[in-house]
């Protein structure tokens, strides 16, 4: 999937997991991490030495595209950001897993259980295809919009409930 798709999916996953816009935003950023081992990816181009080394050691869509990668990065985020951002581990895990879930719709699939080599996929959407650009991306944008609208109405309801009780 394209990085924009992963950003929207990551935000939706983080917001749904925590109910926090800040955690949703962090999840969006963390959703790019599985592609850190691809020099052609959005994040890989920005961290070229890391991505080249990662691809040489692991290859693309291997260890970083697995639950092991998700747990390791989430633990690292929790340890690194934990004192300053209590939802870092959950946000990282939610964003990371959203990336794996979205890539599972690609024919190449994802080795969720790496080092077990079986790839899991529901081959519906090629990366960058017209289906991703015209269906998946707008669909995720709609979901994120609905989440914001829902959050807004919940906030208004809570404010009104507090005003009525007092």
**DSSP label at residue 120:** B
pLDDT at 153: 84
Tell me the per-residue pLDDT of 111-121, one tens digit each, with 9 for 90 and over: 999 999 899 99
Number of helices (H), then strands (E), belonging to the chain: the values are 8, 0
**DSSP of 65-130, one letter per residue?**
GSHHHHHHHHHHHHHHHTTT-TTHHHHHHHHHHHHHHHHTTSTT-B-TTTTS---B------TT-H
Q: What are the structure tokens assigned to 55, written together?
A: 């691809």
CB neighbours of residue 76 within 10 Å:
14
User: Residue 34: which H helix or E strand, with range?
Assistant: none
pLDDT at 83: 76
- Candidates 21, 26, 24; CA nearest to 151 is 21
What global pTM score does this model have? 0.88
Which residues in the chain show pLDDT less than 70?
Answer: 163-166
pLDDT at 164: 66
Residue pair 14/27 in contact by the 8 Å Cβ criterion: yes
What span, in angstroms and rounded, lies between the C-alpha atoms of 33 and 91? 12
Calculate the alpha carbon distances from 7 to 12, 114, 141, 159, 164 in Å: 9, 24, 10, 30, 39
pLDDT at 166: 53
What span, in angstroms and rounded, lies between the C-alpha atoms of 25 and 95? 9
Q: What crossing angle do the helices spanning 137-165 and 3-18 adopt, rounded to 10°?
A: 30
């Amino acid at each position: 999937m394209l990085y924009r798709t992963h950003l929207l999916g990551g935000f939706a996953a983080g917001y749904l997991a925590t109910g926090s816009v800040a955690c949703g935003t962090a999840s969006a950023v963390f959703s790019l991490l599985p592609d850190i081992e691809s020099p052609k990816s959005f994040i890989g181009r920005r961290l070229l030495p890391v991505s080249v080394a990662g691809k040489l050691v692991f290859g693309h869509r291997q260890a970083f595209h697995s639950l092991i990668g998700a747990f390791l990065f989430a633990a690292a985020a929790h340890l690194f950001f934990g004192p300053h951002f209590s939802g870092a581990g959950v946000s990282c895990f939610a964003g990371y897993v959203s990336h794996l879930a979205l890539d599972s719709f690609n024919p190449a699939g994802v080795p969720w259980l790496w080092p077990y080599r079986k790839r899991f996929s529901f081959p519906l959407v090629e990366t960058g295809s017209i289906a991703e650009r015209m269906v998946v991306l707008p669909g995720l944008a709609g979901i994120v919009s609905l989440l914001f609208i829902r959050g807004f109405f919940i906030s208004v309801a809570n404010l009104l409930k507090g005003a009525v009780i007092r």
